[in-house]
Structure 1
Amino acid sequence: MWTACAAAQEPLTPLMPGARDQCPVCGMLVSKYPNWVAAVRYRDGHAHFFDGAKDMFKYLQALPKYAPGHRATDIRDIQVTEFYGLARIDARKAFYVIGSDVLGPMGHEFVPLESRADAEEFMHDHRGKRILSFDQVVPAIVAEVDGGRVK
């Protein structure tokens, strides 16, 4: 599903939202929540920013709805903000904890961690329910997290 997004082999250049950048999914001003920023950059250089990984996944799973005229094959990179270090990391390589006691700007969230060990530590410390890789995040799981019904 996401292999079409696996684009450039260049080093990740962190993207920073401007003061007026709004999440295309929920409409929130993204720069207000720097610890949760996620981004999708296209090959032509433009980017869309999100107030968390959950809205980023919603966007990617319904690209025609949120970004008419854009194609997954045109995506250069996908970034999330890592929970502990607050650094921008490659979303496709991150581990996501769901069902924890940590809430993002839009409530229940996919909490991005850089390593499996960090995800396991976070899950233990914050009562998380599951650890997922990027490719394991399917629409049904996004709906589960969005509704706060993670088992």
Structure 2
Amino acid sequence: MRTVPKLALAATGAALAAAAFVLFPTGSAEQAPPEAANDFCVVAPATPYEAASGLPMLAPKAVPDDARCPVCGMYPARFPHWAAQVVFNDGASQFFDSPVDLLVFLARIERYNPRYALADVAGRFVTDADTGKWTALEQAYFVHGSKALGPMRDGDLPAFASRAQAARFAALNGGRVLKHSGISAAELGALSRNRRHHH
């Protein structure tokens, strides 16, 4: 029977101990905070205002092809009938792939774009699902709980410029008509539970 030299066994043991320390650190080494598991990294700066566009500085803008949603990392231009945006006082715009992500952003702007605060927001807009035109968030009607799936292939908040349009949609697709102020934090949390883009 062949025996393994004691030196080889010692070297193997030391290597295993080193690997265990790297994989399972203990002692005084700093541990990642619990929320780190839910952290994400999306490079989605606001799009600066361009005077050459001819649009008023605080008007809603067309969604650039390369703009990314700061909440989920998707490209809002790929979902034009769901897109939303915030226009800041300096004319810059932040784009979202859906009304849900717009509302999530407004609840914690500093988390998604530390350059701005709620006081910097000059306008908030959603896309009318029927016409494709921009509608001010405050004037829009949303259908919560319909069978329509948003860009994340999950429940979302189809937006409409009039209550009649929203009611027609709800009659065909289910759900109830609400203003954005009638959407509770719990309802928004349920709709946004999977909206994290990981790198």
Q: Does TM-score exceed 0.5, indicating one fold?
A: yes
Percent identity over the alignment? 30
Structure 1: distance between partners of 2:142 and 2:193: 17
In structure 1, the residue matched to 2:64 is: 18
Cα distance, 1:77 vs structure 2? 0.5
CA contact (8 A) 1:83 1:112 kept: yes
8 Å contact 2:59–2:87 — kept in the other structure? no
* Partner in structure 1 of residue 163 of structure 2: 116
Give the TM-score normalised by structure 1: 0.84
How far has the Cα of 1:110 moved from its partner?
Answer: 0.6
The aligned residue for residue 91 of structure 2 is 45
* Contact 2:104–2:192 (CA under 8 A) maintained in structure 1: no
- Give yes or no for contact 1:58–1:139 (8 Å, CA) kept in 2: no
Structure 1, unmatched stretches of 5+, are: 1-9
- Please say if 1:97 is aligned against 2:157: no
Q: For 1:55, which of 77, 95, 101 is the aligned residue?
A: 101
Shift of 1:121: 1.1
Distance 1:26 1:147, change over 3 A: closer
Distance (Å, rounded) in 2 between the aligned partners of 1:147 and 1:108: 11
Q: Deviations over 1:67-89 (max 9, x none)?
A: 21311111110110001111111
Q: CA RMSD in A?
A: 1.8
Q: How does 1:19-38 map to 2 (within 5 A)?
A: 19-38=65-84
Distance in 2, matches of 1:145 and 1:28, equals 16
Helix, strand or coil: the match of 1:97? strand
Deviation at 1:14, TM superposition (A): 3.2
Instruction: List alignment gaps of at least 5 residues for structure 2.
Output: 1-55, 195-199
SS across alignment from 1:140: helix
Structure 1: how far apart are the matches of 2:104 and 2:131? Answer: 24
Question: How many angstroms apart in 2 are the aligned matches of 1:97 and 1:73?
Answer: 28
Once the two structures are TM-superposed, the CA of residue 147 in structure 1 deviates from its matched residue by 5.3
Give the Cα–Cα distance (whole angstroms) in 1 for the partners of residues 172 and 193 of structure 2: 22
What TM-score does the superposition give when structure 2 sets the normalisation length?
A: 0.64
Within 5 Å, give how 1:62-101 maps onto structure 2: 62-101=108-147
- After superposing on structure 2, the runs of 4+ consecutive aligned residues of structure 1 that deviate more than 3 Å are none
Amino acid at match of 1:52: S
More strand by share: 1
